[in-house]
């Protein structure tokens, strides 16, 4: 439960590269998400190129941390997966959340940066990455070793729960 209960949005990172084994675990977590009809409509891009990270921080108004993050994962909808078009938002949200939870499990910090459905962000990233109609950018996840500490949230509230017996 560590990943679920201790996950926080981390925006400050140490100048330390994320190990390949941990990157692979993050990607496995994303690909382990449920998807409607088992269509798995996602495609993940691991971005470590400093120039691209900097440009992404300029395209997305809330992504300034990418200037210093060692990496990001761009979660995209694979546009060729027509069968998944109606449900890709739920599927890619689940994949994104799995990556965030796994990052916490691996003692990494991360933050979800929403891209879709903001057209300016979607189009800016598509242009930067050279995507035509291949991939639809959905979310960006900054990842790295945290250079800030946040206490776990205590969000459980009885008044948010109803029981139907």
The H or E element that residue 64 is part of is none
Name the more confident of 74 and 2. Answer: 74
Burial of residue 109 (CB within 10 Å: 0-12, 13-18, 19+) is buried
List, edge to edge, every strand of the sheet that includes 42-47: 42-47, 71-78, 135-144, 109-114
Domains, the chain:
2-148 (3.40.109.10)
Q: Is the pLDDT of residue 109 over 90?
A: yes
Stated pTM of the model: 0.96
First to last CA, the chain: 27
Mind listing the pLDDT tens digit for each residue in 14-53? Answer: 999 999 999 999 999 999 999 999 999 999 999 999 999 9
Of the candidates 89, 101, 86, the residue with the CA atom closest to the CA atom of residue 32: 101
Mind listing the pLDDT tens digit for each residue in 64-102? Answer: 999 999 999 999 999 999 999 999 999 999 999 999 999
């Amino acid at each position: 439960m560590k990943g679920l209960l201790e996950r926080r949005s981390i925006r400050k990172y140490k100048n330390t590269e994320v190990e390949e084994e941990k990157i692979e675990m993050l990607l496995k977590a994303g690909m382990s998400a449920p998807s409607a009809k088992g269509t798995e409509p996602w495609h993940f891009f691991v971005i470590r190129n400093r120039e691209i990270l900097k440009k992404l921080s300029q395209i997305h108004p809330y992504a300034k941390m990418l200037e210093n993050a060692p990496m990001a994962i761009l979660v995209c909808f694979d546009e060729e997966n027509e069968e998944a078009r109606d449900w890709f938002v739920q599927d890619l949200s689940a994949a994104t959340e799995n990556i965030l939870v796994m990052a916490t499990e691996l003692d990494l910090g991360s933050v979800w940066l929403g891209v879709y459905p903001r057209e300016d962000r979607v189009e800016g990233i598509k242009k930067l990455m050279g995507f035509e109609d291949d991939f639809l950018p959905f979310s960006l996840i900054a990842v790295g070793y945290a250079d800030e500490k946040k206490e776990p949230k205590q969000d459980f509230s009885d008044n948010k729960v109803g029981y139907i017996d």
